Amino acid sequence: MNSKIDPGEEPAVVTGSREQLLYLLAEAAEIEHTLMCSYL
């Protein structure tokens, strides 16, 4: 088993509840829409 951590690897996101998951998904969608507008 390899115990080295890749510096480019992102940490896992652990959600505690369905509401928290929905909040995180909404935040991610808002970030995506903001970035999309800046590229257009």
> What are the domain boundaries of the chain?
16-40
For the segment 2-14, the average pLDDT, to the nearest whole number, is 72
Res. 5 pLDDT band, cuts 50 70 90: low
How far is Cα 23 from Cα 37, in angstroms, rounded to an integer?
21
Question: CA-CA distance, 15 to 34, in Å (whole number)?
Answer: 24
**DSSP letter string, 1-40:** ------TTPPPPP--SSHHHHHHHHHHHHHHHHHHHHHH-
Residues in the chain, how many?
40
Q: How confident is the model at residue 3 (pLDDT cuts 50, 70, 90)?
A: low
Enter the pTM of the model: 0.59
